[in-house]
Amino acid sequence: MVTGAGGFIGSHLVETLVKKKAKVKALVHYNSRSDWGMLEFADKHLLNRIEILTGDVRDSDCIRAAVADCDLVFHLAALIGIPYSYINPRDVVDTNVQGTLNILQAAKDFLTDKVIHISTSEVYGTAEYVPMDEKHPLNPQSPYAATKVAADQLALSFYRSFNLPVAIARPFNIYGPRQSARAIVPTIISQALEKKSVKLGSIYATRDLTFVTDTVEGLIKICESDQSTGQIVNLGSAFEVSIEELVELVARCLKKTIRIVSEPKRKRPENSEVERLCSDSKKAHKLLNWFPRVQLEQGLHKTIAWIEKHRSLYKPEQYNV
């Protein structure tokens, strides 16, 4: 089962698992429109081979029914908008912490073979040293990041207390086709396609960007590895780029000049901005033989092509929280 299957990463993961001949249950968030999120853009032939469930990770009955006959669970479902977590922290806690508890409890009760819990580099906060390995101190600087620390620790506690086979994947900044407008790469691209300027918050913060297909490969390798059980594994490129440099790269890909406009409402609150992220992924190299393959500029071209084809999904004039 894949929770969060209607999301950016989840939809790519589901596609890849089906291509690998896995029997997949895809849990998407219920809505009255029967909208499956980004799974709507997956290969239609593959969709016919997926069991799609609608529900909510906050509903323990829904999760128990979904997990009951599953060997493996990839838990991606989460509210991930950092600005949104400042506005509605309780909603984020309920989904990211209670939702994770529901997954773990069901997996324990039904003797699931393995749970792969998806974390985030945001739990580290601004780098105290680089590159940042799995022993880097945890310093969540937003309510969202705090909920992910809590969820990670819950997952580890179920491994230590109940011998539930759990592995924690800790991706750094993922980008690629189907990503929502609240993330930095589509924020830049969707604006740059429409005009000659982009409105941004902090432009000097650095991020470690990994293309979505590389991240999905890492998640599957973590699932397949016996050595990953009980472990936290970073998935990042070990290459940092500032937001300003990222705008320059997008401009180069589009062959145009782009002006940056600083907009105060897009900046995180004081003491909350994560200024620097740069992964040490040696553990992933050693345990999984995992290395990112897609170079940043190559990945940006692929992402630009997808966003250009699906412009109606983006509202570049609007700030997405």
Count of C-beta atoms within a 10 Å radius of residue 61 = 10
Q: For residues 294-305, give the mean pLDDT.
A: 98
CB 284 within 8 A of CB 218: yes
Helix axes 143-162, 99-109, angle to 10 degrees: 10
Mean pLDDT, all residues of the chain: 96
Q: Can you state the percent helix, strand and coil of the chain, rounding each to 5?
A: 45, 15, 35
State residue 317's pLDDT score: 84
Share of the chain above pLDDT 90, in %: 91
State residue 320's pLDDT score: 80
Compute the Cα dihedral for 99, 100, 103, 104 and give only its sign. negative
Alpha-carbon distance of 161 to 154, in angstroms, equals: 10
Model confidence at 261, in pLDDT bands (50, 70, 90)?
very high
- How far, in whole angstroms, is CA 279 from its chain's centroid? 15
| Beta-bridge partner residues of 25 | 51
- Domains for the chain: give ranges and CATH numbers: 2-313 (3.40.50.720)
Q: For 85-132, how does the pLDDT look when each residue is reduced to its tens digit (9 = 90+)?
A: 999 999 999 999 999 999 999 999 999 999 999 999 999 999 999 999
